[in-house]
Amino acid sequence: MTEQATIQEAWTEIAPGYDEYVTPSNMALAEAALQRARLRSGMRMLDVAAGSGGLSIPAARAGAQVLATDISPAMVERLEARAREEGLTNLGARVMDGQALDLEDDTFDVAASQFGVMLFPDLPRGLSEMTRVTKPGGRVVLVTMGPPSEVEFLGFFLGAVKTAVPEFTGLPTDPPPLPFQVSDPEILREELADAGLTDIRVETANHRLEFESGTQMWDWVTASNPIGAEMVADLTAEQKAAAQKALDNKLRERSGGSGPAVLNNSVNIGIGTK
């Protein structure tokens, strides 16, 4: 199986859950990121590794002319469905490998990716492609996970799994798993600079998540990216149930027993100019 096929299969497998659980929860953050990037109505925007529209939908709502790309046909189908439901005729979607964009140079006012390109095994190549297709003077935007210690959902999730499975050792740090390869703001800055961008800003923002139950949170984490699914793929049904129960307890403690539990998660918003 080729590398591309492997990645495509992995994302296709989680696409239904991603669309249901993750995409809606990403839109508020996307609005904040696009505002910082000064996206305006009528601008041409590219969303790379778009998933089912967590960034693209808010951009199109704001009046930008959006092209969303994702390696997974299943994700693209879901994104197109969302666009149709909202009547967003200014949003188009294509299946495309973000490391080899089939697009002309110097085309977009903004090229952006939220929790997408950060997952690329060859992130510099993905960034380079985003930069290539951005107009001179245009902006490249990356929204990425912040440091693991500042990502509450991760701590809750791993803690619950550890409760159920004592030998679970948690995330490795070197190399960090792909979702955290640019969690250090300085590393993200360096990557943007290496891609040839200037006037680089890396800002920290809060990605606020609400969870009603351990099961919902479990579904969210394991649908967020293939890495999340891989972490717990070997658990038995009993272990999974025990972990979800532990999550329920943690969330109840956070919420005080009423309403959803709110978890705060640090993210980086990196913006550079071509």
Pick 234 or 238: Cβ nearer other proteins: 234
SS3 assignment, position 53 = coil
Is residue 187 close enough to count as binding other proteins by CB under 8 A?
no
**Of 18, 21, 153, 168, the one binding other proteins by CB under 8 A:** 168
Identify the DSSP state of 151.
B
Is residue 173 close enough to count as binding other proteins by CB under 8 A?
yes
Is residue 186 close enough to count as binding other proteins by CB under 8 A?
no
**Of 58, 126, 177, 272, the one binding other proteins by CB under 8 A:** 177
Distance CA 225, CA 43 (A): 29
**Of 3, 102, 105, 212, the one binding other proteins by CB under 8 A:** 3
Is residue 226 close enough to count as binding other proteins by CB under 8 A?
yes
Pick 185 or 226: Cβ nearer other proteins: 226
Residue 139: strand pairing partners: 110, 273
- Which CA distances in Å does 168 have to 155, 162, 222? 13, 5, 16
Is residue 169 close enough to count as binding other proteins by CB under 8 A?
yes
β-pairing, 108-114 with 134-145?
Answer: parallel
Is residue 257 close enough to count as binding other proteins by CB under 8 A?
no
Q: Identify residues 118-137 at the interface with other proteins (CB under 8 A).
A: 121-122
SS3 assignment, position 215 = helix
Could you tell me the two tokens for 224? 């967020």
Which of 254, 226, 232, 257 is closest to 244 using CA atoms? 232
Which residues contact other proteins by CB under 8 A? 1, 3, 6-7, 10, 121-122, 165, 167-175, 177-178, 226-227, 230-231, 233-234
